[in-house]
A and B are shown apart, each in its own frame.
Chain A
Amino acid sequence: MKNSLLLVIFIWLLHGSYAIAQGQTVSGKVTSQDDGSALPGVTVAVKGTSNGTSTDAEGNYSLPVPAQGGVLVFSFIGMVAKEIAINNQTRINVTLAPDAKQLSEVVVSALGFKENKDKLGSTASVVKAEDITRSGETGVINGLAGRASGVQISRSTGDPGAGSNIQIRGQNTITGSNQPLVIIDGVPMSNNTIGDVRGGVAQQSRLNDINPEDVASMQVLKGASAAALWGSRAANGVIVITTKKGADDNKINISYSTTASFDRVNRLHPLQEAYGQGTGGVYNPTSTLSWGDKIADRSGAADEVNMNGARFEAYNGQVFYPVIKKNSRETYVDERLDAVFRTGTYFDNNLSLSGGNEKGNFYLSLGDLRQKGIFAGQSDYNRSSVRFNSSRQFNEIIRATTNANYVRTTSNRIQKGDNASGLYIGLTRTSPDFDSRSWIGNYYASPTASPILNRQRTYRNPVGASANPGYNDPLWVINEQTNTSHVDRFLVNSEIVVSPMNWFNVTARGGIDSYTDRRITNFPVADATNSGRGQFEEQTIKETELNMDVIGRAMKDFGTNVTSTLIVGFNINDRKYNSQGGVMTNFIIPDAPANFNNSTRENNYPYTSTTHRRMARLYSSLNLGFYDQLFVNVSAAGESGSTFGNESKSTFYYPSADVAWQFNQLLGLSNNILSFGKLRAAFGIVGIQPDAYQNTTPYINASFSGIYANPISGTGYGGAYVQSSSQGDPDLRPERKTEWEVGTDLRFFNDKLTAGFTYYQNKINDLLLNVAAAGSSGFSTTYTNAGSMENKGLEVDLNYNLLKRDDFNWNVFANWSRNKNQVTNLAGTDNIVLTGGALATVAKVGYSLSSFYGGTAQRNEDGSLNLTDTGFPRLSNVLSIVGDPNPDWRGGFGTNASYKDFSLNVLFETSHGGDFYEGTRGVLVNFGTHADVGNEVTLTQDMYNYAGKLIPAGSTVRGNIADYGSGPVLLDQSWYTTLGGHSGQLTEQFVTDGSWTRVRELTLGYSLNSEGFRKKIKLQSIDFAITARNPFLWTKVVGVDPETNVSGVGNARGVDYFNNPSTRSLLFSIKFNY
């Protein structure tokens, strides 16, 4: 009875007060502490005897016990065993808590049914709710990172609420989304990240609307067989989220938690401070470059200025005149960074009430997150949510459940990426000797001129003479622009389970997920967008998904050795998307309220777009169990979808099968070493739906632009239409992924060590592609089923309970996975561009998807560089594959330890062998601001520079020395501003090893729950925790977290191009449990 104090917490004696102490029978019900659901199969035994039983399907048990009483032991796999003294009770209801030291063995299927993991032939990774909430991430996606093998979560930026790329077992489609289907409480929900592109702002993932505190469990169904019932929406895997329910414990549980987080920027590009603005070693206050004079050589006196011409009066009081002679040695790199970045914060408060009894239960939660980003301006993210989950058992036959969730998300974000209006372009390209902190003010064209108000001052526009600043000043970006999003979302689902017979039930389940997202983007007058004339955009996106399932489930045993479950279901899923909005350019009144009234008629551009997709599926699965050790599951789905081509048949079938064999039972292998052994194999086919309306080639507004010029459009020429250059296909079929996997789950040393191994292979046929067409055909792309791709991979999960003592528990865990993707056929086209630019990411036959494609140096037949006479590389006219951003392998490892009331959790994550494109560095060396080009070298011999000039030995010059194979050459401005920079297109020189290892999470917790404390405060416990999120990062990549990606959540990976930086955080949280 050492643990009696602890155990008392969990015992609630509901019906036993009138029991008498005689030789008697004890009965009761065992439920899960997590969600109050009944636990079937729990072993109930009288301690020290062989007298025992197990609970039935409803969690009930009944056991004769000796008159003298004794102790009942309740044990169940994945749960903390509990011992309860019988005393004089005849009814003992028990709740069992999940065993934090062992992965829960109950998994929820794609249809929302609970299944015993040991009986499954397919693989699912379960991520515990507390791991997600403890991770310090504000959204559920990033909380998954590093916790499951084969699941890759890549955050594109540290912007609050930004989406992340989720990839399960490699990439499964080329031009469509690789994001998994998310099922919450049995119903799909939108996890779209709409409008996330190279420029603009980092868009939010709608998956992050879910309050992590409401999640009871989250699991990733990785294999095709587990997901096959979702047919053409399941190829990217399925994430199943189950939300919390009230416990059947006849009391109100109140829990309040509060978390404060302090976030700092993680990595910054190193910038030089030795040379000033200008070109060719000469200071020039309007140059775009920082290849000017050596700052140390300046006199140090005040700058000589022209006070008889124009001037700029900044609102912070500083006055600027055109510089005639630059004398000041002051530089402002640190000052600029200090002004742009701050310590970001968030405060997350959650209150939940829950409770229930056998008749019903409820869970009510209120969540409120207020985040301020690391940018010292208009960067925030707020999420408020209400969830009410309730369930009612009306009688033996009918049970009804409703889960309702309302979420409001508001945010204001910062322009990022490949974008002249973005933060990082201005921040990093601005010359070191320019002070950004006076970014806004009044411009006077002459000493007697009237002011022009609200002008932007930037390093190329030092007195604000031009309305067009070229690039925005970083402080203008974070202070003057508006990029808001306002989301109102409802997620409601209801379920009725009718169980007319004990072997048969019918589940009718309906769900609706509907949100509107109102986005406003305002670039005021004097912003770089639209050359300083102002641009305003407002867009309202509305998405509604309706889902309905009717599922019949029959269970029947044939003798004692054969069990069976048959499921037959029917599903209708209907999704509508609507986007309406407009763009307005050229404001009439510069500082009028931002709305569509502030421009002339021809500068307003409304737009609208609608899609409506529907699918209907009939599905069935049959589960057979033999001798409680061999389990076979066969299923099939037949599906019709509205987006299939009008010439193709519209019903497609998705079969799957898996088998699990607990071989240790048959072979009598259960011994002290091997406590459990299972072999499993699975096969399944899943798919990807075509996009809507791709069955025809539309006529579209004629809009044409040359490279780097803005387009001309039919709207300005009385209306003009052309046949789209993207060709449709009336024969569209869903893309199909066929996957098989084999694996084993093993447990050793009395379950102390658990291990899982899986090998899988999949082949994706009929890939839906925008096949690049030769322009001469009349089309630049054709959307069609073409080509194939394959993935092969290995996944390993390990957990070892090093110590399991009464007051000291310690386990270590690790997961490891590798996935090898190869594009095997693209129907004759050489490659398909996923993102363009000087460095493209492409699909190309024989290479991994998303391989880098760019310019290389010309090479001789022997592989050496074909150099110029002066020893420099030459650019090849055609592009080649220059790198592969897909890692060779990834892993997560860590430890959970607890001693008395203290706990420690550490999670490492690592990624090895993926390439990374340092686009930002490539541009900054061109601009002369990167630390790499702040060096001075003294030549030991005569050397040529790229311009062909011979620099004599002994010269001390700005630059670096390199040797491309024919002796040392000088890399100076003539090199970096042409072939040696990103725009020189010799992209292979900026591809680097993007491997990294990081500590994702480090948490120290303390729980105050002693009996004395509980009696005094009337609380069950107070839990304290300090978490460091992302505290350590080891990588060869300089200046940026290599997890970043300019394309956001798109299929292109591993490219840095002025992405906003990621963050690391320190969090403090307190949770009160009543």
Chain B
Amino acid sequence: MKKIYKPILAVLVSIQLFSCEKIVDDLNVDPNNPTDAPANFVFTGTQLANVAVQEGQASRLSLIWTGYGTGVFQQYGTWHAYAITSSNFDEDWNNVFTGTNKNALITIQKAEALGNRKMVGITKIVQVNSLGTATELWGDIPYEEAGRNEEYTNARFESQQELYPKLIARLDEAIADLNSGIGTVGAEDIHFSGDATKWTQVAYTLKARLLMDTKQYDAAYAAAEQGISSYTNSLYAPHGTIPSVNQNHTFSLLTDVRAGSITAEGAYNAELLNPSSSIYRGNAKTDETARFKYYYLENGVNAPGTIEPNTLTTTAARGFFAMDADFPMVTYQENILTLAETALRSGRGLELALAHLNMYRSFLDKGGYIDPTYQVSATLNYEPYVLEDFEVGGIENQDGISPENALLREILEERYVTFYGQHLGWNDERRTRKEAYGIKLQPNNGNELPSRFIYSQNELNSNVNSPNPAPSLFDPIFIYQ
């Protein structure tokens, strides 16, 4: 039997197996997605990832952990009480590393191949913006080995001592790239359409931010001097009205995905700005009504009847978190207030610090960054302060501290109320937590304030170099120790 079958089988097998492979050849080419994309599209994608980083947990946990808002419901209710787990950070960690950082590296490589230094420079700024936010929130993070998994399967975490100089150097590279004048960037830049001057100023303000983190106030002042020089040069995330396409992230969260989850009941910032509150920060020279109403809606719509972050989006009222409200990322406001604080801290004198603060107040007095609808519908007043206001007994020094401290206190408070909805407010709070002056918050729960984000569960699970044991929410990060 075998004599008959075997040769036939052998012939059949050899013929057929050869044809089997031919039959299935060349069918595994993806008809749905490209396997490569030109530099300019990846460039825009990188910018969008950075927007998601700045407007994600960075913004929202800062809202509820820095007294800007109150998590009352579902996840935000629990997170408000500091009960949070590492998997709650996967998405944002990935937005930094698989979103911004990796695609920044790809963009830079592609742009370099095209000799487009301008695109390279802008991309580096976007990259540092994300990574800077990440290290401010998580502490040590991978940098040199991140996004290069062909060479490094487990990216090394870098300490902040090691990382900060590298990020600052990266910004300097970016400034040099932009100064070279080589290359073209147009509408693919969703922020500035390739305006090199604006980007250079953003790079300096970012540099000042990093120097503030490490308390190098003198260098920070110098950087901020070349930072964003006008409101229109601020880096904002542009938004529109199309759901799941270009709406303000927090708007979609507050009105749709987790409607009513975050209110402002008892929120410190709301109390500071509310003219009817006992700790209202307004005075004879200051009327915060417009800013208060722009930030908060007293009779909420998402959490009906309670005060909540303002998501109104009508022609007569556009709140801070309106559907199409642009989100502040690196701003003129930050830069000028950095000048004010660092002028004071670097010993450049009260007059100079006050001059910067008054410059900011005059900006606010003309409406500032407050939406025009609220400049019309509510009152505002920011008259310049004089040194006497900070002397003992002055309107900003009723408790008799030194004029320098009184001015510092006012600058820090102004920074706090200005940085509503941004992680910068939480940065400042942590940076000044052990200092005598600054925003002093009561814990939402227990007797400790949170000090950091905890690492992504995926990172802990899959990177052998991730910190072990993983630090807890209450372990301070190096720069804010």
Is the beta-carbon distance between A706 and B52 smaller than 8 angstroms? yes
CB contacts (< 8 Å) of A696 on chain B: these are 30, 35
| Binary contact track B66-84/A, C-beta < 8 Å → 1, others 0 | 0000000111011001011
**A-binding segment of B241-249, B267-275, B387-395, B410-418:** B241-249
Structural contact, A984 and B42, CB atoms closer than 8 A = no
Contact A778 B102 (CB under 8 A): yes
Q: Which of B25, B49, B57, B155 contacts A722 (CB 8 A)?
A: B49
**Cross-chain contact of B27 among A609, A642, A776 (Cβ < 8 A):** A642
Looking at the assembled complex, report how far the CB atom of A851 sits from the nearest CB atom of chain B, in whole angstroms: 14
B16 touches A570 (CB 8 A): yes
**Is B48 in contact with A702, judged by CB distance below 8 angstroms?**
yes
Which of A572, A617, A643, A855 gathers the greatest number of chain B CB atoms within 10 Å? A855
Residues of A within 8 A of B459 (CB): 774-776
Contact of B34 among A692, A699, A776 (CB under 8 A): A699
The reply to whether B20 and A618 form a contact with Cβ atoms under 8 Å apart is yes
User: Is the pair B462, A772 in contact by a Cβ cutoff of 8 Å?
Assistant: yes
CB contacts (< 8 Å) of B152 on chain A: these are: 777
User: What are the residues of chain B within 8 A of A461 when measuring CB–CB?
Assistant: 304
**Given the complex of chains A and B, what is the CA–CA distance between A775 and B93 in angstroms?**
7
Q: Does A25 sit at the interface, judged by CB under 8 A?
A: no
Which of A695, A697, A777 has the largest count of B CB atoms less than 10 A from its CB?
A777
User: For this complex, into which size category does the number of interface residues on chain A fall?
Assistant: 35 or more
Choose, from A801-809, A906-914, A975-983, the stretch at the interface.
Answer: A975-983
Given contacts A556-B1, A717-B190, are A780 and B461 in contact (CB under 8 A)? no
* Residues from 65 to 117 in B contacting A, C-beta threshold 8 Å: 73-75, 77-78, 81, 83-88, 90-99, 101-103, 105-106
- In the docked arrangement, what's the CA distance between A712 and B473, Å? 29
Distance (Å) between the CB of A429 and the closest chain B CB?
11
With both beta carbons as reference points, the residue of chain A lying nearest to B101 in the complex is identified as A778
Of the listed stretches B256-264, B333-341, B345-353, chain A binds B256-264
A603 at the interface (CB under 8 A from B): yes
A712 surroundings in chain B (CB, below 8 A): 48, 51-52, 239, 245-247, 249
A75-B410 Cα distance, complex, nearest whole Å: 103
Say whether, besides A616-B24, A829-B462, A709 and B252 are in contact (CB < 8 Å): yes
Contacting pair A776 B146 (CB below 8 A): yes
Query: In the complex, how many angstroms separate the beta carbon of A727 from the nearest chain B beta carbon?
Result: 8
Most buried by B among A284, A460, A708, A771: A708
With A585-B243, A716-B246 as contacts: A639 and B466 at CB distance below 8 Å: no
- Contact in complex: A284, B98 (CB < 8 Å): no
Say whether, besides A616-B19, A651-B17, A713-B245, A774 and B154 are in contact (CB < 8 Å): yes
- Distance of A731 from chain B, by nearest CB (Å): 13
Contacting pair A722 B462 (CB below 8 A): no
Chain A 603-650 residues near chain B, CB threshold 8 A? 603, 608-618, 620, 638-646, 650
Central interface residue in B35, B75, B244, by most chain A CB within 10 Å: B244
In the bound complex, CA of A288 to CA of B262 (Å): 13
User: Is the CB–CB distance between A711 and B244 below 8 Å?
Assistant: yes
Distance A724 CA – B33 CA, assembled complex (angstroms)? 10
Contact between B458 and A707 (Cβ–Cβ < 8 Å)? no
Say whether A568 faces chain B, with CB atoms less than 8 Å apart. Answer: yes
Interface presence of B435 (CB below 8 A): no
**Are the CB atoms of A774 and B253 closer together than 8 Å?**
no
Complex contact B97–A775 (CB within 8 A): yes
A651 and B97 contact, Cβ closer than 8 Å, known pairs A710-B243, A830-B462 = no
Within 8 A of B (CB), among A994-1017: none
Report if A780-B94 is in contact (Cβ < 8 Å); known contacts: A840-B87, A978-B77: yes
Name the interface residues of B25-66: CB closer than 8 Å to any CB of A. 25, 27-37, 41-42, 44-49, 51-52, 55-57, 59-60
**Nearest residue in A to B26 (C-beta to C-beta)?**
A642
Closest to B60 in A: A706
Q: CB within 8 A of B12: which of A608, A618, A707?
A: A618
CB-based contact B87/A984 at 8 Å: no
Bound CA span A470–B259, Å? 7
Q: Does A715 contact B (CB under 8 A)?
A: yes
With A616-B20, A722-B42, A776-B463: A699-B243 Cβ-Cβ less than 8 Å: no
Task: State whether A723 touches B24 (Cβ < 8 A).
Answer: no
In the complex, chain A residues whose CB is within 8 Å of the CB of B284? none
**Residue B378 is within 8 A (CB to CB) of chain A in the complex:** no
> Is the beta-carbon distance between A642 and B24 smaller than 8 angstroms?
yes
Please name the residue on chain A nearest to B153 by beta carbon: A777
- What is the CA–CA distance of A774 and B89 in the complex, to the nearest angstrom? 12
Q: Which residues of B contact A613 (CB under 8 A)?
A: 27
| B246 and A713 within 8 A (CB) | yes
A997 shortest CB reach to chain B, Å: 35
User: Which residues of chain A have C-beta atoms less than 8 A from B359's C-beta?
Assistant: none
* B side interface size, CB within 8 A: 119
Q: Does A861 contact B (CB under 8 A)?
A: no
The answer on a CB contact under 8 Å between A699 and B242 is: no
Residues of A within 8 A of B309 (CB): none
**Contact string against A for B residues 439-479, beta-carbon threshold 8 Å, 1 for contact and 0 otherwise:** 00000001000000010111111111010001011000000
B242 touches A723 (CB 8 A): no
Is the pair B456, A695 in contact by a Cβ cutoff of 8 Å? no
Q: Given A646, A703, A984, which contacts B83 in the complex, CB threshold below 8 Å?
A: A984
Q: Across the interface, which residues of A come within 8 angstroms of B238, CB to CB?
A: 717
B1 near A708: Cβ-Cβ < 8 Å: no
B9 located at the interface, meaning its Cβ lies under 8 Å from any Cβ of chain A in the complex: yes
Residue of A nearest to B188 (CB): A718
For residue A53, which residues in chain B have a CB less than 8 angstroms away from its CB? none
Would you call A522 an interface residue if the criterion is a C-beta within 8 Å of the partner chain's C-beta atoms?
no
Residue from A608, A702, A707 within 8 A of B44 (CB atoms): A702
Instruction: Tell me if A1068 counts as interface (CB < 8 A to partner B).
Output: no
Of the residues B47, B85, B101, B245, contact of A876 by C-beta under 8 Å: B85
- The answer to whether B13 has its CB under 8 Å from any CB of chain A is yes
CA–CA, A572 to B256, complex, Å? Answer: 49
User: Are B16 and A618 in contact, with the CB atoms below 8 A?
Assistant: yes
Tell me, in angstroms, the Cα distance from A470 to B5 when the chains sit together: 72
Which of B46, B75, B84, B145 has the most A CB atoms < 10 Å from its CB? B75
Closest to A585 in B: B243
User: 10 smallest A-B Cβ distances: which pairs?
Assistant: A706-B56, A830-B461, A702-B45, A286-B304, A716-B246, A778-B102, A698-B33, A704-B52, A774-B463, A720-B44
Q: Could you give 30 example pairs across A and B, Cβ below 8 Å?
A: A556-B1, A570-B16, A585-B242, A585-B244, A602-B242, A640-B20, A646-B28, A651-B21, A698-B33, A698-B34, A699-B36, A700-B33, A704-B95, A705-B91, A707-B91, A711-B244, A713-B245, A714-B44, A714-B45, A715-B245, A719-B41, A719-B44, A721-B34, A722-B99, A774-B459, A776-B147, A776-B459, A777-B155, A985-B88, A986-B83
Binding site for A on B (CB under 8 A): 1, 5, 9, 12-13, 16-17, 19-21, 23-25, 27-37, 41-42, 44-49, 51-52, 55-57, 59-60, 73-75, 77-78, 81, 83-88, 90-99, 101-103, 105-106, 141-142, 145-149, 152-155, 187-188, 190, 238-240, 242-247, 249-250, 252-253, 255-261, 301, 303-305, 446, 454, 456-464, 466, 470, 472-473
Chain A interface (Cβ < 8 Å from any Cβ of B): 284, 286-289, 460-461, 466, 468, 470, 530-531, 533, 556, 558, 564, 566, 568, 570, 572, 585-586, 602-603, 608-618, 620, 638-646, 650-651, 692-693, 695-700, 702-725, 727, 771-780, 828-831, 836, 838, 840, 855, 868, 874-879, 926, 977-979, 981, 983-986
